[in-house]
Amino acid sequence: MIYTLPSLSYNFGALEPYIDALTMEIHHDRHHQAYINNLNGALKDHLGLQNKPLEEILMELNLVPEAIRTTVRNNGGGTYNHNLFWTVMSPKGGGMPQGTVGRAIKERFENFENFQNLFNNAAKSVFGSGWAWLVIDHDGRLQITATANQDCPLMFGQKPILGLDVWEHAYYLQYQNKRPDYINAWWHVINWEQVNQYYHEILG
């Protein structure tokens, strides 16, 4: 399996003023592409891994040969995380979560405002580079979590349905060191319809 860069369903400037076009272009065409290139390079001599879905590889990292395990962890995670990240944003996004996932968020976190505050705190608390996530855990419950670097929830037995990239390359051109401003702006572009779809795909 040769991994390729997925096309965006919107143009680079479509998320403005919340995420600027230049950041989107660099983030997608350079950073994401680099993870994909590195992942393909690591797997080129490992036919058995090439034939596995990326999700399965990340859930079974202990089965990846030690010589390439760190490279696969970092770049496989970076590939997977960004594949999801682009889809959970939309120029028509924002607002309140609807449908089943909206009801599940309210049931799990009491109300949307409480959920939003908890998620924001998770994103702000990442030291250095990483991600904040809304995941479905082993018991089918929603959880808010954070991971370092390009680790993803699949590595810990969780299924992500929403993720926020808080690496500096995701926001520094526009927000500089003001990560909280970027986090607050991001809520205006969340594609809740897609998040709801991921929720249904996982829980059936």
34 and 74 in a single domain? The answer is: yes
Question: By residue range, what is the domain housing residue 151?
Answer: 99-203
104 and 165 in a single domain? The answer is: yes
pLDDT value, residue 42: 96
Tens digits of residue pLDDT in 161-188: 999 999 999 999 999 999 999 999 999 9
83 and 162 in a single domain? The answer is: no
pTM of the model: 0.96
144 and 63 in a single domain? The answer is: no
pLDDT value, residue 1: 65
Helix H, strand E, coil C: the string for the chain is: CCCCCCCCCCCCCCCCCCCCHHHHHHHHHHHHHHHHHHHHHHHCCCHHHHCCCHHHHHHCHHHCCHHHHHHHHHHHHHHHHHHHHHHCECCCCCCCCCHHHHHHHHHHHCCHHHHHHHHHHHHHHCCCCEEEEEEECCCCCEEEEEEECCCCHHHHCCEEEEEEECCHHHCHHHHCCCHHHHHHHHHHHECHHHHHHHHHHHHC
pLDDT value, residue 2: 87
26 and 120 in a single domain? The answer is: no
Overall number of domains in the chain = 2
Residue of higher predicted confidence among 47 and 27 = 27
195 and 105 in a single domain? The answer is: yes
Across residues 102-114, what is the average pLDDT? Answer: 97
